[in-house]
Amino acid sequence: MVKQVKDFRITNRLEVGDVESDVRRKRAAALPESRSLRERVTGWAANRSYAKLEFVDPEIADKRASICVDCPFNVVHYADDCKECYAHVEQSLYAMRAGRETPQDHWLGACQMAGHENKTAVQLDEKNLLHRNSYTKELQDKHPACWLLHLDSEPRREVDS
């Protein structure tokens, strides 16, 4: 396929560019997402369970949550058909965030773009949000106001010595 695309571009006097990356990107875009949003959140939560979680100050979590509430990718009801799985992951996420809440939690669900649960993600420090790197370009294109793109501008938490 790479050779065919390259030949086509040369024949039609188009810029050749990075054909392999273009083909790989087109193939990935053509593949349907086979996992439900609840399954993606479950996977995200499982990956967090292996890390030492650190949290941001409540004011930062509240600010992040306010952004999520207005986001078109915030899916409040993401349970799919497995209510037991959903209940289990919700319980695990509550324990993971040690019961931390924001006033907006009632309107938070899962991020359709990044595949995380928003009530928990808004509480985590940037070291626990490295999955955002996989979604940076898409977030920049589709929701540039997302707080995941602006972690560098957030105030740093004071560390006790």
Residues 34-72 have pLDDT tens digits of 888 999 999 999 988 888 899 999 999 999 999 999 999
Q: What is the pLDDT of residue 140?
A: 93
Domain regions of the chain by residue span: 37-153
- Scored b (16 or more CB within 10 A) or e, 48-80 reads beeeeeebbeeebbeebbbbbbebebbbeebbe
Please give the single-letter amino acid code of residue 81: D
The answer, yes or no, to whether residue 146 has pLDDT greater than 90, is yes
Q: What is the pLDDT of residue 160?
A: 46
Q: What is the pLDDT of residue 143?
A: 92
How far is it, in rounded angstroms, from Cα 149 to Cα 146?
A: 6
How far is it, in rounded angstroms, from Cα 13 to Cα 8?
A: 8
List, in sequence order, the alpha helices (H) in 12-117.
19-30, 37-48, 58-69, 83-96
The answer, yes or no, to whether residue 133 has pLDDT greater than 80, is yes
The answer, yes or no, to whether residue 5 has pLDDT greater than 90, is no
Tally Cβ neighbours within 10 Å of residue 94: 15
